Amino acid sequence: MTYISRRNLTFEDFLSQYRDNPRYELADGELIDMEPTGLHETVSGKLETQIGIYFVTEQLPWFIPRTCLIYPFAEAATVRRPDIVVLDETVLDCEPLWEREPVITLGRSIKLVVEVVSSNWETDYARKVEEYALLGIAEYWIVDYRGLGGIAFIGKPKQPTFTVCQLVEDSYIQKQYRLNQSIDSPLPRLQLRLDDVLPR
């Protein structure tokens, strides 16, 4: 992850210049190049497929948009672009920007958000945990397929870790899973292991 802006951007600046470019998000007015890699895209693609199969099987009114931005706080020039966002189609009519922009501002529209960890692991484990909880997103997954997170977040020895964050009141309760463990998610009957989404 690289901070590349030389000046502060507003939400409107970001939308007009970078809305359709999946490499970038905005944090406090600073443009961030998320530098995705092929392995990162492999993990997020496999996970997105597993989640999509689950929706179809369970006949849920949810979907994964091709592009989606999360604008968590109107007073801050921060725009997040998670690796995977699961939206509830039945409540999108309450989203003030959705009809003209793929931008979500209300946590209740989001059933799940997923971040696949790369070099910006501090943001995924700390700042986004706070932002997504404050927005009221019920579930947040952190998929650290290379075990990059700090020892305070994933323990010692460092190893691939899948963290499920469930919102209880206004903060997340976190549970971690390692290789060969079935992931216990509030999504009923979802069968998933970290092993299933790792690159070959």
**96-150 per-position pLDDT tens digit:** 999 999 999 999 999 999 999 988 899 999 999 999 999 999 999 999 999 999 9
pTM above 0.75, yes or no: yes
Establish if 1 belongs to a structural domain: no
Establish if 182 belongs to a structural domain: yes
Query: CB 10: neighbour CB atoms within 10 A?
Result: 11
Q: Strands 103-104 and 69-70: what pairing?
A: parallel
pLDDT tens sequence across 2-44: 555 556 899 999 999 998 898 899 999 999 998 889 999 999 9
CA 164 vs. chain centroid, Å, equals 12
Establish if 14 belongs to a structural domain: no
Q: Which domain holds residue 182?
A: 37-68+82-197
Establish if 73 belongs to a structural domain: no
Establish if 32 belongs to a structural domain: no
| Phi (first) and psi of residue 159, to 5 degrees | -155, 165
Count the domains in the chain.
Answer: 1
pLDDT value for 4 = 58
